[in-house]
Each structure stands twice: as structure tokens, then as C-alpha cells.
């Protein structure tokens, strides 16, 4: 559908603007690798490997804890996200515009029948 194509274009524009803002305003940690230009799981693994080797060379104890944050965005509490964005320097207009993520409804139409409206929870 054309909506799918439009939403992908909109997503790309929003991603680029948010990424530019966060990079230029130092919002992200230097250790953040996901969803950043010129960063990847490879750069994250290289950093961890270098840190471990450095600690071993200095005879220091080394502990590694890994967390699986897959699907983490699906579980984000959006009102808190918007507050964090405002505190980080995002404009009120930007946060208001992105607030479409909350209080959304959806239904499914197929073969001439339409389901009941349901809240979008993820």
C-alpha cells in the first residue's frame, strides 16, 4: 500500500533528524554502538575485547555481564521517553509530534469484514 511506502519515508526522515540531533548534542554515550552511523556490533566487540586484553595485561580481574535487550523498544514507557527527550534538549514540538506513539488504535479489515478496534500496545 502507499501508506507503507510513506511511513517508511517518514521513518527515515525522523531517524536521520533524531540521529543528527543526538550526535551533535552529545546525547548518546561514547559506548553506544546500536543504531549509530559508523558503529556496529563489531565495534562494540572490538571495544570489549580491547578492554579485556588490557585488563589481563595489567593482571586485573575481569568480569563481563551481558544483557539481551531484544524487543526493548516494544516495552518502552512512552510518557517517560518523552520526558527524557525534553530533559535531553529535544524541542517541545519534536516531542509533541512523536507523541503519536501513544494512545493509538488499530483494526483489521479482510474479506469485507472489520475487527473491533484495539489499542496498539507494542
Banded model confidence at residue 59, pLDDT cuts 50, 70, 90? very high
Instruction: Report the candidate in 99, 70, 69, 62 with the shortest Cα–Cα distance to residue 82.
Output: 99
**This model's pTM is above 0.95:** no
% of the chain residues with pLDDT over 90: 20
Position 60 pLDDT exceeds 90: yes
- Mapping DSSP onto H, E and C, the string for the chain reads CHHHHHHHHHHHHHHHHHHHHHHHCCCCCCCCCCCCCCCCHHHHHHHHHHHHHHHHHCCCCCCCCCCCCCCCHHHCCHHHHHHHHHHCCCCHHHHHHHHHHCCCEECCEECCEECCCEECCC
- C-alpha cell at position 98: 512523536
Banded model confidence at residue 72, pLDDT cuts 50, 70, 90? confident
Mean pLDDT across the chain, nearest whole number?
A: 84
Position 1 pLDDT exceeds 70: no
109 compared with 99, residue with greater pLDDT: 109
Q: What is the pLDDT of residue 53?
A: 96
Summarize the confidence of residues 44-53 as an average pLDDT.
Answer: 92
Amino acid at each position: 500500500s502507499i501508506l507503507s511506502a510513506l511511513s517508511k519515508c517518514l521513518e527515515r526522515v525522523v531517524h536521520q533528524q533524531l540521529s543528527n540531533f543526538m550526535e551533535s548534542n552529545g546525547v548518546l554515550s561514547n559506548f553506544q554502538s546500536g543504531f549509530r552511523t559508523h558503529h556496529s556490533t563489531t565495534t562494540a566487540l572490538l571495544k570489549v575485547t580491547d578492554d579485556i586484553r588490557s585488563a589481563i595485561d595489567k593482571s586485573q580481574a575481569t568480569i563481563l555481564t551481558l544483557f539481551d535487550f531484544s524487543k526493548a523498544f516494544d516495552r518502552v514507557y512512552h510518557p517517560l521517553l518523552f520526558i527524557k527527550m525534553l530533559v535531553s534538549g529535544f524541542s517541545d514540538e519534536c516531542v509533541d509530534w512523536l507523541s503519536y506513539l501513544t494512545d493509538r488504535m488499530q483494526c483489521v479489515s479482510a474479506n469485507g469484514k472489520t475487527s473491533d478496534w484495539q489499542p496498539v500496545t507494542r
